């Protein structure tokens, strides 16, 4: 979680989620072509001027080409079998909605795609060209940005992250094999419990920025990331979770407690984490055991299914993050405040 590609937009809309990022993330890279610079808000300029959180990522033609290939292939399947995707997009007639010109108000800047994507959208009545790029339905635009962000993240060897809960499921569904054959994929969904101040929305952003700039904070943040990465590696290797928590878990817990102390009370939230590997992950006993442990770090559900790789030819995908700031109910046996 040290370096992350942020998607789908290039500015975080949820201020509470932005405060989370300032407290827990070292570097957040939104995908911003140069043509998007004039549309950045004062808040982005403030964050860039006063903190080291935001680092703009400039998409290259090659990444746009790969994203175009993946997107055309995936969206073409959606248009052929819309019923299979109606639950994901929340309506049985979502495809008809995408094709309504009045709903095509989300612009994908032209630096993020190639002509093949533009031609595909126009030919299938899924988009219309404008001065900056192509306008599509917001859901379709988010789908494209999900694909692009994962291609960029995979190429940089880091992880993507979003504050939109439904986009992590979409990311899993857009994997295709480079050799057009199906392979077994193991997908483990973990939930890492962290803390934030209960009154986070009432804490001024300036206070959060000031805390990030306090002497010693970045060193403690670095130690947190080091310990968190070590824990995830520990889990990926199939080693007992309790060994790690016993020896190194306090670094994560202490840092989370420090963040919680910014308010009068704290709440626990789940940071979701997809671990995707070339082989199936199948250890339900381990998952059940850890769920009931009441640990700071806990596994949610473990599933394995047959799916496909995407055209980036990356053989292993890991650590796809989702920070869901909804509060986790706790009782006397699991309360960690």
User: Looking at residue 134, what is its pLDDT?
Assistant: 97
Rg (CA), the chain: 21
User: Mean pLDDT throughout 298-307?
Assistant: 28
Residues 239-294: tens digit of each pLDDT = 766 667 666 668 888 999 999 999 989 888 877 766 655 444 443 333 332 232 23
Judge whether 161 and 4 are in contact, CB under 8 Å. Answer: yes
User: Looking at residue 94, what is its pLDDT?
Assistant: 95
User: Looking at residue 43, what is its pLDDT?
Assistant: 94
User: Mean pLDDT throughout 192-211?
Assistant: 92
Residue 32 above 50 pLDDT? yes
Question: Mean pLDDT across the chain, nearest whole number?
Answer: 78
- Tokens 């308010």 correspond to 263
User: Mean pLDDT throughout 12-41?
Assistant: 94
Residue 15 above 70 pLDDT? yes
* Most confident listed range (128-142, 145-159, 298-312): 128-142
Q: Which whole-number Å values give the CA distances from 122 to 35, 99, 100, 118, in the listed order?
A: 22, 10, 12, 6
User: Looking at residue 40, what is its pLDDT?
Assistant: 95
User: Looking at residue 242, what is its pLDDT?
Assistant: 64
User: Mean pLDDT throughout 166-174?
Assistant: 66
Residue 180 pLDDT class (50, 70, 90 cuts): very low
Residue 204 above 90 pLDDT? yes
Burial of 187 (0-12, 13-18, 19+ CB in 10 A): buried
Residues 80-120: tens digit of each pLDDT = 989 888 888 889 999 999 999 999 999 999 999 999 999 99
Residues making up the chain, counted from first to last: 337
Q: Is the pTM of this model over 0.75?
A: yes
Residue 39 above 90 pLDDT? yes
Beta bridge partners of 135: 107, 128
User: Looking at residue 270, what is its pLDDT?
Assistant: 73
Residue 47 pLDDT class (50, 70, 90 cuts): very high
Please tell me the distance from the alpha carbon of residue 146 to that of residue 38, in angstroms, as a whole number. 23
Please tell me the distance from the alpha carbon of residue 200 to that of residue 17, in angstroms, as a whole number. 10
Q: Which whole-number Å values give the CA distances from 190 to 20, 236, 325, in the listed order?
A: 19, 11, 15
User: Mean pLDDT throughout 299-310?
Assistant: 29
Residue 128 pLDDT class (50, 70, 90 cuts): very high
Q: What share of the chain is helix, strand, coil (3-state, %, to 5)?
A: 45, 20, 30
């Amino acid at each position: 979680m040290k370096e992350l590609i942020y998607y789908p937009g290039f500015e975080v809309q949820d201020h509470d989620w932005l405060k989370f990022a300032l407290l827990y993330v070292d570097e957040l890279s939104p995908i911003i072509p140069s043509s998007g610079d004039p549309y950045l808000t004062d808040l982005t300029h403030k964050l860039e001027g006063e903190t080291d959180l935001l680092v703009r990522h400039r998409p290259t033609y090659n990444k746009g080409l790969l994203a175009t290939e993946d997107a055309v292939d995936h969206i073409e399947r959606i248009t052929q079998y819309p019923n299979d995707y109606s639950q994901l997009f929340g309506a049985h007639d979502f495809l008809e909605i995408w094709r309504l010109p009045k709903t095509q108000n989300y612009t994908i800047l032209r630096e993020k795609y190639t002509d093949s994507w533009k031609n595909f959208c126009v030919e299938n009545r899924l988009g219309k060209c404008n001065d900056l790029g192509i306008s599509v339905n917001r859901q379709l635009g988010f789908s494209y940005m999900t694909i692009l962000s994962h291609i960029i993240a995979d190429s940089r060897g880091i992880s993507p992250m979003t504050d939109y809960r439904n986009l992590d499921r979409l990311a899993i569904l857009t994997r295709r094999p480079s050799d057009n054959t199906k392979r077994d994929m193991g997908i483990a969904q973990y939930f890492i419990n962290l803390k934030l101040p209960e009154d986070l929305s009432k804490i001024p952003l300036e206070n959060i920025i000031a805390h990030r700039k306090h002497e010693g904070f970045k060193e403690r943040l670095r130690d947190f990331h080091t310990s968190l990465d070590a824990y995830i590696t520990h889990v990926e290797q199939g080693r007992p979770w309790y060994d790690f928590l016993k020896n190194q878990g306090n670094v994560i817990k202490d840092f989370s407690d420090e963040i919680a102390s910014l308010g009068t009370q704290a709440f626990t939230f789940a940071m979701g984490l997809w671990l995707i590997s070339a082989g199936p992950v199948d250890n339900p006993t381990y998952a059940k055991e850890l769920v009931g442990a009441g640990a700071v770090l806990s596994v949610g559900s473990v599933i394995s299914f047959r799916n496909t790789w995407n055209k980036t030819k990356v053989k292993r995908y890991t650590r796809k993050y989702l920070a869901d700031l909804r509060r986790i109910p706790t009782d006397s046996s699991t309360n960690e405040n």
